[in-house]
Amino acid sequence: MSAEKELKLDPKYDDYDFPYISPTDLSGHPGHTTPEQDAQVVQLREALTKDGFTDRLDTLTMLRFLRARKFNIDNAKAMFVDCEKWRKEFGGGVDQLVNNFEYPEKAQVFEYYPQYYHKTDKDGRPVYIEQLGKIDLNALYKITSADRMLQNLVVEYEKLADPRLPACSRKAGKLMETCCTIMDLKGVGISKASSVYGYVQQASAISQNYYPERLGKLYIINAPWGFSGIFSVIKRFLDPVTVSKIHVLGSGYEKELLAQVPKENLPKLFGGSCDCAGGCAFSDQGPWQEAEWSKTPKWAQKKDNSAAIQDNPTLTQAGATTEGAAVPAGSAPGVEAEAAAAAAPAPQ
């Protein structure tokens, strides 16, 4: 491993079982950090530990929050603290939600608002698809509620972090931290815009505030007449780095989209050749479903370990791993031998 592609890990917090060097050759990304940025990771973690935080202090997470706040430690800390507060309050607690949430109305909801992960793009990222043109909020709210739709969104974000991205990282042989989003606006007229964009704004706030640095590319396809004007207003409130990831395309989007997503991975609906049995929207196909790359999500392992300890109080650390416990260097398989550990599973 070359010097410029190393990442300082702390075995107390970092137990990755997937590649953790980013292919994004930009300052501040894993494997492309300066000594000053490495020190800022330690400083942020120490500041959070001093305030009593113990979870989600691994190096990759610290770097995501620091990048989201231009490596300003105070601002990154404030963002992390706000996020942890939100995690405790949202839906009765995000950690509990991801383990217990059920969405039996999903098929009905998808009639009016399909949103799903489906295979990967040419860089190895999960592809996430939303069809906003079908949204009928009046019909949706007879089936479900805005709260439950947002809870489902959050559960999917948790599953993106683990197991989806780890599985994609293993298959690609490099760190995948972001996804490729396709937002289809076919059928979204300006008259529908206020209600649709109102919900999207709520969903976007969750993404931007609590799941930073998860957007790799965004393709807005079938953009209606007048959308460019709306977007020109919206992008003034977005970070320039975020704006650079967004591609607004009209109905002639196929060539540009297929340059990023393999034809066999793209549903036929969007000009690809994929036609999953039962429909691509419900197939959940991707590396996270492939035994060679997928592993049980850590949030599920935590629940299983807690249940095992509750059932058998004689179990100690020798028989059950507790969160935050140090992992011996080199104990994780599948990554460079000289880098200690690499860990995570796969979402839908």
Class of domain 1-91: mainly alpha
**For 38-68, how does the pLDDT look when each residue is reduced to its tens digit (9 = 90+)?**
999 999 999 999 999 999 999 999 999 999 9
Q: What pLDDT score was predicted for residue 190? A: 60
| pLDDT given at position 252 | 92
Same fold, 1-91 and 97-297: no
Lowest-confidence region among 133-137, 271-275, 329-333: 329-333
Backbone angles phi, psi at 182, to 5 degrees: -115, 115
Q: Which residue has the higher pLDDT, 56 or 235?
A: 56
| Arithmetic mean of pLDDT, 29-46 | 97
Using alpha carbons only, how large is the chain's radius of gyration in Å? Answer: 20
The whole-model pTM stands at: 0.83
Q: Give the length of the chain.
A: 348
Q: What CATH superfamily classification does 97-297 receive?
A: CRAL-TRIO lipid binding domain (3.40.525.10)
Q: Does 192 score more than 90 pLDDT?
A: no
pLDDT interval class at 228 (50, 70, 90): confident
Q: Are 308 and 315 in contact (CB under 8 A)?
A: yes
Quote the CA–CA distance of 183 and 197 in Å, as a whole number: 12
Q: How many CA atoms lie within 13 A of 7 on its CB side?
A: 29
State the pLDDT at residue 240.
Answer: 82
Domain locations along the chain: 1-91, 97-297
Q: What is the pLDDT of residues 62-98, one digit of tens each?
A: 999 999 999 999 999 999 999 999 999 999 999 999 9
Dihedral angle over CA of 76, 80, 86, 91, nearest 10: 130
Q: Are 154 and 94 in contact (CB under 8 A)?
A: yes
More confident residue, 237 or 268: 268
Average pLDDT rounded to a whole number, residues 243-253 = 89
